[in-house]
Every structure is written in C-alpha cells, then in structure tokens.
C-alpha cells in the first residue's frame, strides 16, 4: 500500500480541477461540472486522525438498539456473525494462529475505518442510509463488543473518535523491507554458481509413490478424453 498522500492528493486534485471546471466540460462536450452538493456527497472519507468526520455523537447503549434492528440479522446479536456473514467482534490473540479471526477488534488498525466503512457501505444492500449520529453509536457499540470501550454510556463524537486506539495498530507500519531486509533488496542478485555446494537429489517422486509405476496403471488413472 502506498502511503504518499501528498502525491496522490495532488493528482486527484488535478483531475478534479480539470473536470470540475465548466470550461473543460464545455470543451470536451460531455457531461457537466459536478455541483458542490454532489462533491459533498462523494467526499465522505474519514482519515485516521479524524479528518473528514461529520459533527455528531453516539453511545454503545444507543448503538445496541440500532445494531439489533439493522445489523444483527447478518452479523449476529453480539457481532459473532450469523451463518457465514462476517464476524465483527472477538478474535483477540488469534492473528498468529493457523486460523486467524480478523475483526474490527483483533485486526483493524484505526477506529476511523470503522466509522468510514459503516457509514459508506453498511447495512449491506442499504448503504449510506445511516445518519452520522447512528454511525457514531454503531461504532461505539462495535468498540464495546470488542472490549475496547468499557462504558456503554461513553459518548463518542467527532472530537474524540480518533483518540481511541485499536490493539493491532502497531502492526500496520510503512513498508520497511528496503531497510529491514537490506541485503536481500540491495545485493546484486547472484546469476551463476549460486549454490554453496553441488545440488544433491534427496528424494524421488516415484519412491514417494506419487507416480504410477506401469504404463497400464497410468492409462487407467487418466482415461482418454472423450
Ligand atoms: C445483509 C447482510 C448485512 C447487514 C444487514 C449488515 N452487514 Fe455488515 N457486512 C455484510 C457483508 C457481506 C460484509 C462484507 C462486505 C465486504 O467485504 O465488502 C460486511 C462487512 C461489515 C464490516 C467489516 C467487517 C470486516 O472485518 O471486514 C463491518 C464493520 C460491518 N459490516 C458493519 C455492519 C453494521 C454496523 C451493520 C448495521 C448498520 C451491518 N454491517 C449490516 C453484510 C451485512
């Protein structure tokens, strides 16, 4: 993942400016300039530092009621996931296991992503029908289900949401392979005589019994295509 907000931001701004200007729309003779209201409708991203959060507030206690009505049919009453729908709670300490359970609590890095995603995409099939206050309450309830908020009446709002930390945040960091694996990334790749000693054969597929011995057995196992 690239973390070059300035570069991307500049490119996006340039594109927006090019298309938002009425002159460009007229010159290309397609579409029309997006209205400020339309841009406002699209511009709903929320960043980890809280930038982009709408004014609003909510609590886990309020969120629980909304969750049971609008989310539990898929995600279960306690975020445990109904059937094969995604789990939203639990999974703490499972990330290094053979079957990691990745949830908002165990895996996600920032609370802003919870707000952004729920506001943008949920409930599945009726996206963007939640008000900011409902989204704050649902975010609080998801944090409460994951034991990140302990008080169900704690008010989450646009000022304090970004100050709440998720346990897995530290495991998301800038790609450091160029320094952490310096040798691997900067050494001139070996192209000849790279093995420290002569290669030796340590096993044969025939002995491991994965290759049929006789031609007849071979034919039996893979009948000719009709
Ligand atoms: C009709 C079923 C359905 C309903 C109702 C629903 N969701 Fe979802 N939810 C999904 C599906 C499917 C996904 C996975 C979407 C994807 O990966 O693109 C998902 C993903 C999520 C995720 C991300 C999970 C993860 O770790 O990737 C969150 C958070 C979430 N939903 C919250 C909610 C909330 C809050 C509500 C109620 C307002 C809600 N959902 C209602 C089906 C539903």
Ordered by start, the domain boundaries in the chain are 5-32, 57-171
- Low-confidence residues of the chain: pLDDT under 50: 1-10, 12-18
Q: Which residues contact 137 (CB under 8 A, 6 or more apart)?
A: 58, 59, 60, 62, 63, 66, 156
Ligand 1 atom closest to the CA of 72, numbered from 1: 5
Q: Tell me which architecture the domain covering 57-171 has in CATH.
A: Orthogonal Bundle (1.10)
Please tell me the distance between residue 125's alpha carbon and the centre of ligand 1 in angstroms.
10
Please tell me the distance between residue 117's alpha carbon and the centre of ligand 1 in angstroms.
9
**Mutation to probe ligand 1, out of 78, 87, 124, 166 (largest number of atoms < 8 A from CB):** 124
Q: Which residues contact 153 (CB under 8 A, 6 or more apart)?
A: 59, 60, 61
Which residues line ligand 1 at a C-beta cut-off of 6 Å?
A: 70-71, 73-75, 85-86, 88, 103-104, 114, 117-118, 122-125, 130, 138
pLDDT (0 to 100) of residue 50: 97
Q: Write the residue with the smallest CA distance to atom 14 of ligand 1.
A: 86
**Mutation to probe ligand 1, out of 58, 60, 74, 108 (largest number of atoms < 8 A from CB):** 74
Spatial contact of 11 and 19, defined as CB atoms under 8 Å apart = no
How far is residue 129's CA from residue 134's CA, in Å, rounded to a whole number? Answer: 10
| CA atoms within 13 A of residue 20's CA, in its CB half-sphere | 12
Please tell me the distance between residue 144's alpha carbon and the centre of ligand 1 in angstroms.
17
Ligand 1 atom closest to the CA of 141, numbered from 1: 35
How far is residue 3's CA from residue 221's CA, in Å, rounded to a whole number? Answer: 52
Torsion, CA 187, CA 190, CA 196, CA 201, rounded to 10: 130
pLDDT (0 to 100) of residue 7: 46
Say what the pTM is: 0.75
Q: Write the residue with the smallest CA distance to atom 20 of ligand 1.
A: 86
pLDDT (0 to 100) of residue 26: 67
């Amino acid at each position: 993942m690239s973390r070059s907000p300035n570069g991307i931001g500049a490119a996006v701004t340039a594109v927006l400016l090019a298309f938002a200007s009425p002159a460009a729309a007229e010159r290309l003779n397609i579409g029309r300039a997006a209205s400020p209201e339309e841009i406002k409708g699209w511009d709903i991203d929320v960043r980890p530092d809280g930038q982009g959060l709408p004014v609003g507030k909510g609590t886990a206690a309020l969120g629980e009621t909304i969750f049971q009505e609008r989310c539990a049919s898929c995600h279960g009453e306690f975020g445990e996931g109904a059937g094969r729908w995604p789990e939203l709670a639990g999974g703490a300490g499972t990330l290094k296991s053979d079957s990691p359970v990745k949830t908002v609590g165990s895996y996600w890095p920032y609370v802003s992503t919870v707000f952004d995603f729920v506001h943008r995409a949920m409930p599945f099939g009726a996206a963007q029908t939640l008000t900011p206050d409902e989204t704050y309450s649902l975010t609080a309830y998801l944090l409460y289900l994951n034991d990140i908020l302990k008080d169900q009446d704690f008010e989450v709002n646009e000022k304090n949401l970004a100050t709440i930390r998720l346990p897995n945040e530290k495991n998301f960091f800038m790609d450091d392979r160029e320094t952490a694996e310096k040798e691997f990334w900067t050494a001139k790749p070996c192209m000849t005589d790279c093995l420290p000693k002569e290669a030796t054969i340590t096993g044969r597929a025939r002995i491991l019994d994965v290759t049929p011995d006789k031609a007849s057995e071979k034919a039996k196992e893979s009948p000719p295509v009709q």
